[in-house]
Amino acid sequence: MPIVHCHIAFILVIGAAAATLASTPGGLTAQDGLGRAPHAHLHTILERTFLRVDVLRLDICLDSSAAARVDRLLEHGRSRASDDSIAHVIVNAAQVLGRIRFLRNVGFGQFLDGVAEDQQKAVHAGWLPDSTFLAIRAGLPEWFAFLENRDIRKDDEIVYHLPAGQVQSTYVDPRGDVLMQRTDAGYWRRASVLVTWLAPGSNFRNGLLDSLRRAEADEHIAHVCRAPPSNDRDRP
């Protein structure tokens, strides 16, 4: 399994933060079968560099059409140009599901600092507008206020369902309770999730792309690519 080395990094939560910009409570229905075609599933683990502690696992599940385009690009081998092309296919896929599972407890302040540091990588790469970064940095403490007295706990998950033009972020605790579910529309709301995983310089990019050469068991893919739970209660 590919492991990515970084300082304390949480690029993943940019997506959840961007999804809450002018967002509304509610759910979307994820498409069945995501991640099942060849090259439709990517995965990596984020590790703290100095302590060598696994922080989280990220899985990305694609629709079959996007997976077929990735497959054709891989026929020509890996290069910086082909990696960029594969990343763009994923960012613009019709259906994507991303799932992050935390492998250890993380403090709320540490969480906020990591987001502010790591989202800048996508900005510097030219894959995320500076205006989106500034809006996320300003709003993040309010959007994730439910974590202030709780912190992030081992086995918490954030699930992103990403149909074209929309993003739904669902935060689930280890018992399966939904602590946050927000749906937002707009190209950059959606793309901000994916470009911060896949832009050049991202701490996730190499591990994700390397994983395309490593098939995982069907039952594991079915588990990580399943739809997020729904939340039938409005949350502020």
What is the third-level CATH fold of 3-224? Chalcone isomerase (3.50.70)
Give yes or no for a contact between 204 and 58, defined as CB atoms under 8 angstroms apart: yes
pLDDT for position 171: 93
pLDDT for position 113: 80
Residue with tokens 């893919």: 221
Q: Which residues contact 117 (CB under 8 A, 6 or more apart)?
A: 7, 8, 9
pLDDT for position 82: 93
pLDDT tens track for 136-157: 788 778 888 899 999 999 999 9
Strands 3-6 and 41-48: parallel
Structure token pair of residue 224: 């990580």
pLDDT for position 161: 95
Whole-model pTM: value is 0.85
pLDDT for position 87: 97
Residues 135 and 206: their CA atoms lie apart, in Å, by 27
Q: What distances in angstroms separate CA 71 from CA 82, 96, 200, one per listed residue?
A: 11, 16, 20
Q: What distances in angstroms separate CA 102 from CA 73, 172, 221, one per listed residue?
A: 31, 11, 18
pLDDT for position 24: 45
Q: Which residues contact 205 (CB under 8 A, 6 or more apart)?
A: 83, 87, 197, 198, 199
pLDDT for position 133: 84
Residue ranges in the chain modelled with pLDDT below 50: 1-14, 16, 19-20, 22, 24-30, 233-236
The 10 Å CB-count burial string (b at 16+, else e) for 7-32 is ebbbbbbbbbbbbbbebeeebbebbe
Residues 104 and 94: their CA atoms lie apart, in Å, by 32
Residue with tokens 């995982």: 216
